[in-house]
Structure 1
Amino acid sequence: MKMNKVNVIIEQIDFSGTVLVKRNHQAIQQFSNGYANRSYEALNNEQTRFGIASGCKIFTAVAICQLVEKGQLSFDTKLSDVLDITFPQFDRDITIHHLLTHTSGIPDYFDEEVMEDFEELWVKHPMYLMRSGSDFLPLFLNEPMKLGVGERFHYNNAGYILLGLVVQEISSMRFDEYITESIFKVAGMEHSGYFAIDALPNNTALGYIDNEDGSWRSNIYSVPAKGGADGGAFVTVEDMYRFWKALYDFTLLSEQMTKQLLTPYIHTDDDYDRFYGYGVWIDIHDSNITKYHVMGYDPGVSFHSAYYPESDEITVVCSNKSEGAFDVFKAIETM
């Protein structure tokens, strides 16, 4: 009956994507629905790669923690001391910690408190030119601070763009190369990567935007040509499970550094006991952490994934539609 409830939601919203739920490393649910490519009627399957938008901010945070662990950086390092880039109106007291926790106060290139349509960004800055972190700098480089440093939580993509540039500067590697070598390969995520949307590998789902009149279009003109530190990686559901497992097995970071990554540093929402660590959302109930989770939304992309420490359960919901992942995720969670 519980599975029927999920099926009802899938049918109601016409879910397109793949789902994996494991408890104690055993799969208790795994299914796919919809098309990875509607034109060719190619079905989504268990090995399909999906874009996860901002869901990959946690990869950036892990990369920073690895560099801190190696002694090449600290969370108190000031942005102005590590990047040789002039930000005319930025506060010079902004630290790596502030960027990781969305408390830097810098302007965002896509401010969800101001803008609603992500596609508006590409009117003046064509999306096909956005292929690296430095390509985003003109969108916020000369803007004034939005808030005081440390004043409050303000979700900020630009902050993670800067963290990606820090990873490049410290490691002397391209950001995507560093993540591939130091995270994906180490965690066994052999099918994941930062793929250009105009050069996708086989079995990768195209993102779809459904219009109100029943027509649809792919998202190739709606998102950056290549993802980076703030979002845009592609993963399979099994690879995302492997990431969580590698994180909790202390394969990616030491136990002490993993605890720092997963510390609830800042309260994010007055209506919920929800906090933010480094690249990860944290839910707390009765003083106990009930869930670590990541999420991502772009035109043609919706994604939710969580680790529940009390039950040792990992849930991954990837969708190649703008909406749907949350509804399926919540239906599974109520089980």
Structure 2
Amino acid sequence: MVCNLIIEDLKASEAINKVIDNEGFSGVVYVKDDNNVLLETASGFSNRADERLNTVHTRFGIASGCKVFTAVAICQLVENGIIKFDTRLKDCLKTVFPYFDEDVTIHHLLTHSSGIPDYFDEEIMDSYEDLWMSTPMYQMRNTNDFLPLFKNEKMMFKPGERFHYNNAAFIILGLIIEQHTGTSFTDYIEMNLFEKCGMSDSGYFSFDQLPKNTAFGYIDNEDGTWKTNAYSLPVKGGADGGAYITAPDMIKFWEALSNHRLLSKEYTKLLMTPHIHVDKGVDYGYGIWINKKRNATFKYHVMGYDPGVSFHSAFYPQYGIKIAIPSNESSGPFKVMKTLDEYFDI
């Protein structure tokens, strides 16, 4: 069978180890099918100063890789009849945005097609760290704290006009979750997603209160020196990114999602439906990237990049295989994922 061949290739693959060595990869590569762990490897240091090694059970920040958690939470509210995908922003959130188009809907926010201003526009801004020169990162603990960064800015384009990756849109989705549940965003996700998935080692942790077995994020300079990312990111993650997970916990998320433990079959399908075209062979669902090959879905995946953080995770529906590749450096998982993709593209 094809899957048996894949298992053998993964276990014996020199290519995976070569990429890990060539990249100086610091993190975890974890691959599992419906029943078995096919590959698990950890490399690099979770704490360079103390030379503490990463393990398969080390917690890593995943940046925007957790936008899918926000999308699942919104789908839960829709499934429970609290809001609808076509509900307009002005009808479901008390916060006033003076220059936002009145036709912006939850669907637009979920698909990066709202046209609202972003607080960090990745197409025109180079460094996420630059944001905190004027806004102290240690004050960014709650969803509302991000509003001054974009609330009074003007629209970039009309709602639904095109795809344009937008972090602020997911901040607003987090505010909607908070307003309609009476619970902080992070508490809602931890109770209604992580607990249901059995993700007992994952959570939204503050830089100044990191639990044990958590990797520090590292930024490498061209001269060979390095620093941690402690002053490069918001002190606590939220609706647009910043959760901490272990690789096995991320696999548990994919398993719970595909087995309809988080959403019904109908709403799981809606989450994973291509709602907007991004590029050749790439579409976007709700908080999730969708790659197609030969007119079929090749993989669903999420990814995240921040200073000192990089992450890729995927679900290959044809094989029931799930992959998690977290890293505590600014790059590395992409080439590992690309190598794994080549094994599954048969």
Matched, 1:318 2:334: no
TM-score computed with the length of structure 1 as normaliser: 0.98
Once residues 14 and 142 of structure 1 are traced to their aligned partners in structure 2, the CA distance between those partners, rounded to angstroms, is: 43
User: Partners in 2 of 1:58 and 1:84 — Cα distance?
Assistant: 24
Equivalent position to 1:166, from 176, 194, 197: 176
Q: Secondary structure at the match of 1:305?
A: strand
> Aligned partners of 2:192 and 2:116: how far apart in 1?
28
Q: In the alignment, which residue of structure 2 is the partner of 1:71?
A: 81
Question: Are 1:107 and 2:103 counterparts?
Answer: no
For 1:260-318, what per-residue CA distance to the aligned partner results, in whole angstroms no more than 9, with x for missing partners?
A: 0001010012xx21000000000112221111000000000000000001111111100
Kindly indicate whether residue 243 of structure 2 is the aligned counterpart of residue 230 of structure 1: no
Q: Which structure 2 residues correspond to residues 1-335 of structure 1 after superposition, within 5 A?
A: 3-269=13-279, 272-335=280-343
Whole-Å Cα distance in 2 between the matches of residues 281 and 217 of structure 1? 31
Amino acid at match of 2:164: H
Q: CA RMSD in A?
A: 0.9
Amino acid of the structure 2 residue aligned with 1:293 = H
Counterpart CA distance in 1 for 2:335 and 2:212 is: 28
Distance 1:32 1:123 in 2: 35
> In structure 1, the residue corresponding to 2:260 is in which secondary structure?
coil
Alignment deviations for residues 221-267 of structure 1 (CA, whole Å, 9 cap, x no partner): 00110000000000000000000000000000000000000010100
Counterpart Cα distance in 2 of 1:207 and 1:257: 35
Q: CA separation in 2, counterparts of 1:137 and 1:244?
A: 31
Q: CA deviation at 1:333?
A: 2.1
Distance in 2 between residues matched to 1:286 and 1:325, nearest whole Å: 25
Supply the AA of the counterpart residue of 1:286: R
Task: String of CA shifts for 1:68-110, please: whole Å, max 9, x gaps.
Answer: 1111111011111111111110001111000000000001100
Q: Residues of 2 paired with 1:332 and 1:97: CA distance?
A: 32
Letter in 2 for 1:322: S
Amino acid across the alignment from 2:270: Q
User: Equivalents in 1 of 2:293, 2:18: separation in Å?
Assistant: 29
Q: Measure how far apart 1:8 and its partner are.
A: 1.3
TM-score, normalization by structure 2: 0.95
| Corresponding pairs, count | 333
> How much has 1:332 moved relative to structure 2?
2.2
Q: Aligned-pair distance for 1:24?
A: 2.6
In the aligned structure 1, how far is the partner of 2:298 from the partner of 2:33? 15
2:290 partner SS: strand
Partner Cα separation in structure 2 for residue 140 and residue 129 of structure 1: 16
CA distance in structure 2 between the partners assigned to 1:100 and 1:37 by the alignment: 36
Q: Secondary structure at the match of 1:198?
A: helix
Note the residue ranges of structure 2 that are not aligned, 5 or more in a row.
Answer: 1-8
What is the CA–CA distance in structure 2 between the aligned matches of 1:253 and 1:282, rounded to whole Å?
Answer: 19
Cα distance in 2 between the residues matched to 1:226 and 1:172: 20
State the AA in 2 paired with 1:21.
V
Q: Deviations over 1:306-335 (max 9, x none)?
A: 000111111110000000011111122222
Q: 1:332 & 1:275 partners in 2: Cα distance?
A: 20
